Chain A
């Protein structure tokens, strides 16, 4: 199993551009999450999904959108990128509530 994979590893965006961060898991997990990690700030939940077709906002959803058309994929869309969205983005998945969340390797995003 590859686990949780994320692409791209690194990206530079100009202010106002848009992009999609890809996340795929091959563990047949129903639950998937997107976090952002800023230096010294821990992980903040952006959006999460409890299954295909079901998504909900986390702690910091503004400026982002998600979709979940399949169990495996959970892309994160940035519209009109802003410098405040410079961060490292992690996707995670879990089998159920109260179980281990498995994290991908992260996408480092720089908005200039």
Chain B
């Protein structure tokens, strides 16, 4: 089955700097790659997703890139703000909708 690895497990950045989280997947049939943000005590919430027919997608300060050849995808957050502090999960799906999640990255933005 699909295996998703996520790095780093924790990431501390200064406010205004950029943050990058990387994920790799194992199943070459995967074609849907969402990113979820989880704030303390809440359920995960989708922040951006990308499908395999696209190499990059951007939404304001958030961007995701996908390299299908290398089987990796990344989340980029620019101009980080304190409210970006949360746990971020990548996921990959090869079949009808059974997402395989990475282990998560704790992002801490310090003023």
Contacts and interface: CB of A to CB of B under 8 A. Distances in A.
Interface in B24-78: 31-32, 34, 36, 41-46, 49, 51
A35 B104 CA distance: 15
Contacts of A94: 97
Given A45-B98, A48-B98, A98 B51 contact: yes
Interface residues of B, number: 25
Contact of A42 (B41, B42, B51, B101): B101
Contact of A97 (B6, B9, B97, B104): B97
A31 B97 contact: yes
B51 to A, nearest CB: 7
A44 B49 CA distance: 19
Contact of A106 (B43, B49, B98, B99): B43
B86 interface: no
Q: Range of interface residues on chain A? A: 20 to 34
B98 A98 contact: no
Contacts of B51: 98
Contacts of B9: 40
Contact of B45 (A59, A96, A103): A103
Interface of B: 1, 6, 9, 31-32, 34, 36, 41-46, 49, 51, 89, 93, 96-99, 101-104
Interface of A: 4, 31, 40-45, 48, 50, 58-59, 90, 92, 94, 96-106
